Amino acid sequence: MEILRSKAPLRVSFAGGGTDVSPYPEEKGGAVLNCTVDKYAYATLQTGPPGNGGARVHSLDYNLSANYQMPEDLVYNGELDLVKAAIKVLRPELATAARPESLELFLHSDAPPGTGLGSSSTMCVALVGAFQRYLRETWTSYEVAELAYKIEREELGVKGGRQDQYAAAFGGFNFIEFSGKTTIVNPLKISPGVLNELGYRLLLCYTGTSHYSSDIIERQQRSYREHESATVLALDATKRLAIDMKNQLLRGNIDEMGRLLDEGWQLKKRFTQGISNPQIDRFYTSARDAGALGGKLVGAGGGGYILLFCDFARRANVAKAVQESGGRVVDFTLVPDGLQTWSVRSPAS
Q: What digits encode the pLDDT tens for the residues 307-332?
A: 999 998 999 999 999 999 999 999 99
Task: Quickly state the pLDDT bin for 100 (edges 50, 70, 90).
Answer: low
Average pLDDT, the chain: 91
Cα separation, 220 vs 273, in Å, equals 8
What pLDDT does residue 49 have? 66
What pLDDT digit, counting tens, does each position of 196-223 carry? 999 999 999 998 776 566 788 999 999 9
Task: Give the closest residue to 21 by CA, choosing from 229, 235, 275.
Answer: 235
pLDDT at 348: 60
- Mean of the pLDDT values across residues 20-46? 97
| Helix-then-strand count for the chain, H and E | 11, 12
Please, what are the domains in the chain?
2-188+335-345 (3.30.230.10), 192-330 (3.30.70.890)
Chain segment 158-176, per-residue pLDDT in tens: 999 999 999 999 999 999 9
State yes or no: cis peptide before 23, omega within 30 of 0. Answer: yes
Q: Read out DSSP for 1-26?
A: -EEEEEEEEEEEEEE-TTTTSTTHHH
Q: Is residue 288 over pLDDT 80? A: yes
Closest C-alpha to 14, from 314, 268, 320: 268
Residue 281 class from Cβ within 10 Å (0-12 exposed, 13-18 middle, 19+ buried)?
exposed
* pLDDT of 21 strictly over 90: yes
Q: How far is CA 259 from CA 44, 235, 251, 305, in A?
A: 42, 18, 16, 19
Is residue 303 within 8 Å of residue 211, measured between CB atoms?
Answer: yes
Percentage above 90 pLDDT, the chain:
76
Nearest to 12 by CA among 117, 99, 147: 117
Q: Can you tell me the mean pLDDT for 54-80?
A: 89
User: Which residues are identified as catalytic?
Assistant: 164
**Sheet of 202-206, strands arranged across:** 292-297, 305-310, 202-206, 328-330
pLDDT at 94: 63
Q: pLDDT-based confidence at 48, cuts 50/70/90?
A: confident
310, β-bridge pairs: 292
What confidence score (pLDDT) does residue 245 get? 97
- Number of other residues whose CB lies within 10 A of the CB of residue 288: 17
Bridge partners of 344?
A: 3
